[in-house]
Each structure stands twice: as C-alpha cells, then as structure tokens.
Amino acid sequence: MSEAAVRGTQMAGPLGPVALSGGLLLLLASPVMRGGNRHVALIVLEILGVAVLAALWARFNLAPARSLSGFARQPLLAPLLMSPLLLAVVQLTPLPAAWWGAVAGHAVYAEALETLGLQTAGWRPLSVSPDATAASLLAAIPWVAAFLLAYLASLQQLRVLMRAVVAVAFLEVVLGLLQASGGQHSPLYFGVMTYGPPVGTFANRNHFANYLAMALAGYIWLAYEAAHEARHSRASRARLPGAFTSRHVLAIWTSGGLALVLGILLSRSRGAVLFGLSMAGVALALAAFRLLGLSRGWRFAAALGTVLVVAGTALVGFDQATSRISADQLAGSAAFRGELALTSLKGAWAFWPWGSGWGTYDLAYQQFQPATLPVYPNHAHHDYVEMLFEGGILFVLIAVGFVWLAGRRALLLVRTVLRERKLDRNAMAATLCGLGLLGLLLHSLVEFNMRIPANAILGALLAGAYLRPLPTGRR
C-alpha cells in the first residue's frame, strides 16, 4: 500500500469500512433465534465476531499508534478484554486427578466418578464441565468485537452502528405487536412457550424488553445528535421547542420513542420498566438540559416523558400494563429470586475461590437446590451471583476492574460538567450510552440478561461507547 493510502487510512480512524460492515451484520443478526441463544445462531455470531476482530487487527497494522492511543490512557482495559483468556487458562488447564478432587466443591464429583468406576489417574481441567466452559468462553468473542467497534469508532460510525440497533428494535416491536394481536397461540411466537406477553425473537419477555430499553437510550442519543446538527446548521435557524428543524420532525422522533416505550410496556417486564425506562428518562432529561438549558429542558423532558408513558399505557391498557405489579405478584417473585440467590451464594462459597467453571451453573447448582424450589432453574436470575458462582475470585477481579474504569469515566464526565457547564458531543454520546448500559447492569440484579448473546452484545456496544476515548480539548 502506498504512503498516501496509509495516510488516508489513518485519517479515517482505526475502525475501517470492513470492520464497520461486519459490525453491522453482527448487530443485525444477534437477536435472531431466541436472541442468539441457540447453538447455530451463536456459532454464526462467533464467526462474525472473529471476522470483525480480524478486520480490526488488519486496521491496527496500518495505524498502530492511533489504535492504541485510547488503550494507553486506560491500561486496565486490555486485561479486561482478555479476561475470557484468563478464565480459560485457569479453568481449562488440566490438573492431576488427586489435585482436582481436592479443589473446593469438587469432592462430590470425585466421589461420584469413583462410585461409577470412572475415576482415573489422568489429568482433568479445573472446571466441573470443561466443554460447557469452553463453549461459554467462546461466546465472549462477539461481545469483545462489539465493545471494540464502539470504542474505536468515530462519532459518525457510532451513529451508523446505533441506527442498526434502533432499526432492529423497531422490527422487534412490530413482531411483538403481531404476536400480541394473534394471541398466546400465535405461530409468530415460533414455538416459544409463553403466557401471552410478546417476546419478539427472544425466548423471554424480560430479555425482549431489556433489549428495547437499551435501544431506547441509543435512540435518545440519535435524536440528540439530530437536534444538535439541526441547531447548528446554517440552513436551519429555528428556535425550537427542542432544536429540531420543525414540529413535524419532533413529532416523528416522538413517535419512534413511543413505539419503543410501547414495546417495553407490552412485554409487562417489571425490571425493564423499573430500570430501563427510568434510565431512558434520565437520558432524555440530560439531552433536553444540554439543548434547552436547565429550566426549559426540565419542562420539555418532563412533558415529553409523561406523554410517552401515558400514551404507551393507554395503548397497552392500564390493566395489562399494571397486571404484574400487584402485591402478590411482587411478593412471589421476590421470594423465588431471593431464595435462589441465597442458595446460589451458598454454592459460590462451596466452590470458592476458583468457581465451578464458566457456563456450568445449570450443572453445578443441582446439589444446592432446596426442595422449596419446585422447578429447576438453569440460571440464578441474578447475573452477578451466577458469575460469582462460576468464576469465583476471577470474576471479583474482573468486576472490580470494570467498576474502576466505569467510575473513573463517570467522575470525568461530572468534573467536566462542573468545570465547563456543558458536555461536548463525544461526552454526550458517552453519557447517554452509559445510561443505557446502567439500565442493563441494574436489570441484571434480577435477571440473566448478560447470558443472552443479543443483550450482551448490545451491552458491550454501549460499554464501548461509554468508555471510548474522549478528545482532550480543554480537558
């Protein structure tokens, strides 16, 4: 390649057109087949993830200094992205059979193998199910690729990626409406056992609604970008409400937001409403503050948010929208999740410090399930407890590293607001996408959204946008 071509590539940034195209395919394909939570779908997503990483690697060879500039300012980021390899090294490295049986939590499996006459003098990986651990760690490839896509993208490229997410979310809402109109036996559920609420292409209403809630935060950022550009374009000098070029454009953006809110309410997912919609409301308020100022922005955000929620509730029906927030419903759900979390923590302590092995919860939890839980759960319905169960101290180290990075970024954004009384476009992208990510993190306290490939990939994309390098400027 000529020197001029290399210079052109560097000016275009580290995320090239090949990686961007692969990323679009990854985002468009991720919700297909139960949110990507099927073997065939996951294999496709892993292949796309490898292709994106290969394209990024090729791009890195053309502009290594530019690609590494952000990682140099966040040295903890590279080890976190390599954490699946760390888990693989620790949990898949073979140990002598005697050592394996002496590891915390493994004695019952060693005794069972001996009883069955299968105990040998060979070596065994630390995980109680090496195949499940290997498959689970390979599933991390797409979300690493999604994180790097957002982290290395320019602001324009990030908008392209987020538009793909929002387009998928709109299609999910359309499918959800068709499912609701056809009743709980509609063929559009594609064989999912459901009790009526729509699930889109997912297998669970919570995962469906959580995906829409994260997409809603991205949609608010896209609306902010459109308003910002309209406000500063020479062709448009209109003064607002909302820095939009006209009331018609504002109505179009509002209609899109209503569609996503309608999909969330239609799912009747309490976690998505409590965490996802609340974070979207905060994102809407911050975008309005930045465009209109504090007093006008507050009134605009409060009025628009109220309109969206009231209109969405009216379209769904008040009884339907509130059917799962009765005292009996909340008490039963809290009792189930509380007992499941406590017994899972008991199991995590039994396997401490190395964990049972990533992806082995459904196998390893069986010995800790109490008789009061009539149905066997294949997930802890609490992502952090489940990851502690499987990863032990390794998960603790990974979580502390991420919290450190996320906390530093939040502190930087707060200091910037206090010092400059505003956030620039890159900082606003980080803030609004970070709020969408926060909705996922909070919802994961009562659900296993991070175990669903589509939700994990979108969450990783938002995390990359939140932690992406910010232009230094006056900072």
pLDDT in tens, 116-169: 777 666 788 999 999 999 999 999 999 999 999 999 999 999 999 999 999 999
Which sign does the torsion angle of CA 449, 465, 13, 80 carry? negative
Q: Which pLDDT band, with edges at 50, 70 and 90, does 67 fall under?
A: low
344, 349, 355, 357: CA torsion to nearest 10: -30
In a domain, 207, yes or no: yes
Q: Which residues pair with 55 in a beta bridge?
A: none
- Section 80-100 average pLDDT: 91
Q: Is residue 436 predicted with pLDDT exceeding 70?
A: yes
Q: Is the sign of the CA dihedral 25, 229, 278, 396 positive or negative?
A: positive
Predicted local distance difference test score (pLDDT) of residue 192: 80
Q: Which residue has the higher pLDDT, 41 or 61?
A: 41
Encoded tokens for 275: 């965490």
Residue 335 lies in a domain: no
Comparing CA positions, the residue from 87, 40, 8 lying closest to residue 397 is: 87
pLDDT tens digits, one per residue of 249-278? 888 999 999 999 999 999 989 999 999 999
User: Residues 22-35: pLDDT tens digits?
Assistant: 999 999 999 998 89
Residue 216 is assigned to a structural domain of this protein: yes
Backbone phi and psi for residue 94, each to the nearest 5 degrees, phi listed first: -65, 145
Residue 389 has pLDDT above 60, yes or no: yes
**pLDDT tens, residue by residue, 169-205:** 999 999 999 998 887 778 888 878 666 789 999 988 9
Is the distance from CB of 85 to CB of 33 less than 8 angstroms? no
* Three-state secondary structure call for residue 125: strand
Bigger pLDDT: 438 vs 8: 438
User: What one-character-per-residue DSSP string does 252-315 give?
Assistant: HHHHHHHHHHHHHHHHT-HHIIIIIIHHHHHHHHHHHHHHH-HHHHHHHHHHHHHHHHHHHHHH
How many Cα atoms sit within 13 Å of 391 on the Cβ side?
22
Q: Confidence class of residue 72 from pLDDT cuts 50, 70 and 90?
A: low
pLDDT at 187: 86
Asked whether residue 357 is domain-assigned, the answer is: no
User: Which backbone phi and psi does 75 adopt, to 5 degrees?
Assistant: -60, -20
In terms of DSSP H, where are the helices of 373-424?
383-391, 393-420
Q: Both tokens of residue 456?
A: 């994990």
Task: Give the pLDDT score at 332.
Answer: 74
Q: Which residue's structure tokens are 């955000």?
A: 301
Distances (CA, A) of 63 to 8, 60, 69, 71, 148: 10, 5, 10, 14, 15
Q: Is residue 407 part of a domain?
A: yes
Pull the structure tokens for residue 244. Answer: 């939009």
pLDDT of residue 465: 96
User: Average per-residue pLDDT in the chain?
Assistant: 87
Q: What is the per-residue pLDDT for 4? A: 39
Is 165 part of a structural domain of the chain? yes
The whole domain housing 151 covers: 12-84+135-325+386-467
Nearest to 282 by CA among 442, 453, 471: 442
Distance of CA 305 to CAs 261, 284, 285, 295, 365, Å?
Answer: 10, 8, 9, 16, 42
pLDDT at 2 over 50: no
Q: Higher-confidence residue: 475 or 288?
A: 288
pLDDT of residue 236 exceeding 50, the answer is no
CA distance 6 to 62: 7
In a domain, 301, yes or no: yes
Task: State the pLDDT confidence band at 282, using cuts at 50, 70 and 90.
Answer: very high
Give residue 1's pLDDT band: very low, low, confident or very high (50, 70, 90).
Answer: very low
Confidence of residue 10 (pLDDT cuts 50, 70, 90): very low
For residue 308, tell me if it sits in a domain: yes
CA–CA distance, 281 with 269 (Å, rounded to integer)? 17
Query: Considering the chain, what percentage of its residues have pLDDT values greater than 90?
Result: 61
Question: pLDDT tens for residues 322-376?
Answer: 777 766 777 778 888 889 999 999 999 999 999 999 999 999 998 899 888 877 7
The angle at the Cα of 363, spanning 130 to 121, to the nearest 5 degrees, equals: 45
Lowest mean pLDDT among 322-336, 394-408, 415-429, 451-465: 322-336
| Domain count across the chain | 1
Label residue 318 by pLDDT band (50, 70, 90): confident
Instruction: Give residues with Cβ within 8 angstroms of 173, minimum separation 6.
Output: 200, 212, 259, 260, 262, 263
The SS3 of residue 96 is strand
Residue 248 CA to residue 291 CA, distance in Å, equals 18
